Amino acid sequence: MRTLVASLVGLVGVVTLGASGCEAGASGNERAREYMPDMVRGPAYKAFAPNPATRSGLTLQAPVAGTIARGHRPYPFHYGPGEEEAARAGRELANPLPLTPALLEDGRGLYQTYCLVCHGSNGKGDGPLVVAGKIPTPPAYTSDRVAPFPPGRLFHVVTMGTQNAAGIQKMPSYAALLTPGERWKVVTYVGHTLQKRATP
């Protein structure tokens, strides 16, 4: 029993001394004493502040060339904008995703989120923005112009957007909003469900 009491008294004494040692000399404007601070507190630099420790003299550094953001995979897209490049993409690109009910359901959800507002629920170019007069009417997916587009060309349109002959943007690129896989899901949904193609 004496050993237990002595141990408890010793523990309380150590805690009290430690606490008082950390707070000794501290006020509202000073930091208390620290035991072995070593590298705990380094100089703090704001993101856009000058920094003498870097070669460029800036704190915020550009990513290394070829860096891929976490969660993204490299997907080289070797096509430029314009009709010729879109036609070439249509000839050369094939849909890498197998047609499954789950894929079509994902494609439907993505279409409703990103495409329906302009193209309409059935792809006839009668989305809410068109009805409200905010944008020109896009061609229907079953129109003579768009119906023959192969999946690779639709993928190019979603990736690069489209421009008219004067170079004015008609449809923006969705590459920043949809991953390549998501774009292929939308293309599959459009081809299989809205254009009623036998194969994606």
What are 163-199's pLDDT values in tens digits?
Answer: 877 777 889 999 989 999 999 999 999 999 999 875 5
d(CA 25, CA 50): 34
Q: What is the CATH number of domain 83-194?
A: 1.10.760.10
**pTM of this prediction?**
0.63
Predicted confidence at residue 25, as pLDDT, reads: 55
Predicted confidence at residue 200, as pLDDT, reads: 43
Within the chain, residue ranges assigned H as helices are 2-23, 83-92, 101-114, 116-119, 128-131, 151-160, 180-189
User: Could you tell me if 159 and 173 are in contact, meaning their C-beta atoms sit under 8 angstroms apart?
Assistant: yes
Count of Cβ atoms closer than 10 Å to residue 101 Cβ: 7
The domain segmentation of the chain, as residue ranges, is 83-194
Q: Kindly report, residue by residue over 109-135, the tens digit of the pLDDT.
A: 999 999 999 999 999 999 999 999 999
Predicted confidence at residue 124, as pLDDT, reads: 94
d(CA 77, CA 156): 9
Q: How confident is residue 87, by pLDDT bands cut at 50, 70 and 90?
A: very high
Predicted confidence at residue 161, as pLDDT, reads: 92
Residue type, 168: I
